[in-house]
Amino acid sequence: MSAVALDALEFDTLRALRAERPVAVAEALARRSRRDVVRGDGRLFIVAADHPARGALGVGDRGDAMASRYLLLQRLAVALSHPGVDGVLGTPDIIDDLALLGLLDDKVVVGSMNRGGLRGSTFEMDDRFTGYDVPSMVRSGVDFAKVLLRVNHADAGTAATLEAAAQAVTAAAEARMPIMLEPFLSRWVDGRIVNDLSTDAVVLSIAIAAGLGVSSAYTWMKLPVVPDMERVMAATTLPTLLLGGDTGGDPDETFSSWEDALTLPGVRGLTAGRALLYPPDGDVAGAVDAAARLVHPDL
């Protein structure tokens, strides 16, 4: 961690505001200073914190790593203090906490729209919208939308998911709000959902996602780093952010794969969460700084 830290008084104030002045959330969002989504070198580094709302609290072999909201907010405060971090991705509860703490000035706020398919549930493929919607994001001053899009050819629920995602893309385009789609081909394996991270599967998922909605003018992709990223990026002209994901225990290998993929045409930056907020060595500031310098080499 770094010298940037939230103290007990700030958490006391946060709890008091939530209980006694809930309107303070809207006030904090309204007064935050906003920025253009794309500026400067045209690249984006977004820290992701939308994992808890889908029931995913684990990082590596630590099953409850993200269970403490106080620790998560502490680590987000460290990350957002870095000048190379352009913004944060979260569900409303996370974004509201950060707004009340005054941590969103001059940052791109990305609203997570769907977390209905809870990890490990029998209804995991039911990715209905349970977070933000486009009108609420417009009212709250959220800058960017994000939709998880898991496509399972053996699960009929995928049809409704595709329809809902298409409607979200249409609504975002009408509001002139950029929206990033995070597509996967998924399947049931021993009672749980597994995403296919083969190059062919990622390419096919891009083709499906890119065609959703009445306009692709405001659509971005959020894609995993897989083998043969050159072929992946040749599958779309849409601006793309790399999906950071977990490090899998080898941060050096993960960062090296990000560095290589960030050089490809169409890649505009990185969205990463657990790998940076919960690094194996506990050095959040160091992990965030290393990633920021990959995205913004001129820092």
Q: How far apart are the first and last CA of the chain?
A: 20
SS (H, E, C) 148-188: EEEECCCCCHHHHHHHHHHHHHHHHHHHCCCEEEEEEEEEE
Task: Examine residue 182 and state whether it is found in any structural domain, yes or no.
Answer: yes
- Contact status, residue 45 vs residue 269, Cβ threshold 8 Å: yes
pLDDT digits (tens, 9 = 90+) for 94-111: 999 999 999 999 999 999
For residue 3, being part of any structural domain is answered with no
Can you say how many angstroms the Cα of residue 263 is from the centroid of all Cα atoms in its chain? 21
CA atoms within 13 A on the CB side of 34: 14
Q: Is residue 2 a part of any domain in this protein?
A: no
Q: Is residue 101 part of a domain?
A: yes
The total number of structural domains in the chain stands at 1
The residues of the chain scoring below 50 in pLDDT are 1-3
**Count of alpha carbons within 13 angstroms of residue 244, beta-carbon side:** 32
CA distances from 284 to 37, 153, 180, 221, 264 (A): 24, 39, 25, 26, 27
Q: What pLDDT is attached to residue 191? A: 83
Q: Which domain holds residue 107?
A: 8-295
Q: Would you state the pLDDT for residue 3?
A: 44
Indicate the pTM of the whole model.
Answer: 0.94
Instruction: Identify whether the C-beta of residue 91 lies closer than 8 Å to the C-beta of residue 53.
Output: yes
**Residue 1 domain flag:** no
Domain CATH code at residue 43: 3.20.20.70
Structure letter (DSSP) for residue 62? B
Give the CA diameter of the chain.
53
Residue 287 in domain:
yes
> What pLDDT does residue 55 have?
81
Task: Please indicate, yes or no, if residue 262 is contained in any of the structural domains.
Answer: yes
Residue 97: inside a domain: yes
3-state secondary structure (DSSP) of residue 189? strand
Is there a contact between 147 and 127 (Cβ–Cβ < 8 Å)? no
Distance, CA of 180 to CA of 126 (rounded, Å): 19
92: left (phi over 0), alpha (psi -120 to 50) or beta: alpha
Long-range contacts of 5-14 (CB under 8 A, 24+ apart): 5/74, 5/77, 5/78, 6/70, 6/73, 6/74, 6/77, 6/101, 10/101, 11/70, 11/73, 13/100, 14/97, 14/100, 14/101
Task: At 291, list the tokens.
Answer: 């990633």
Cβ neighbours around 256 below 10 Å, total: 12
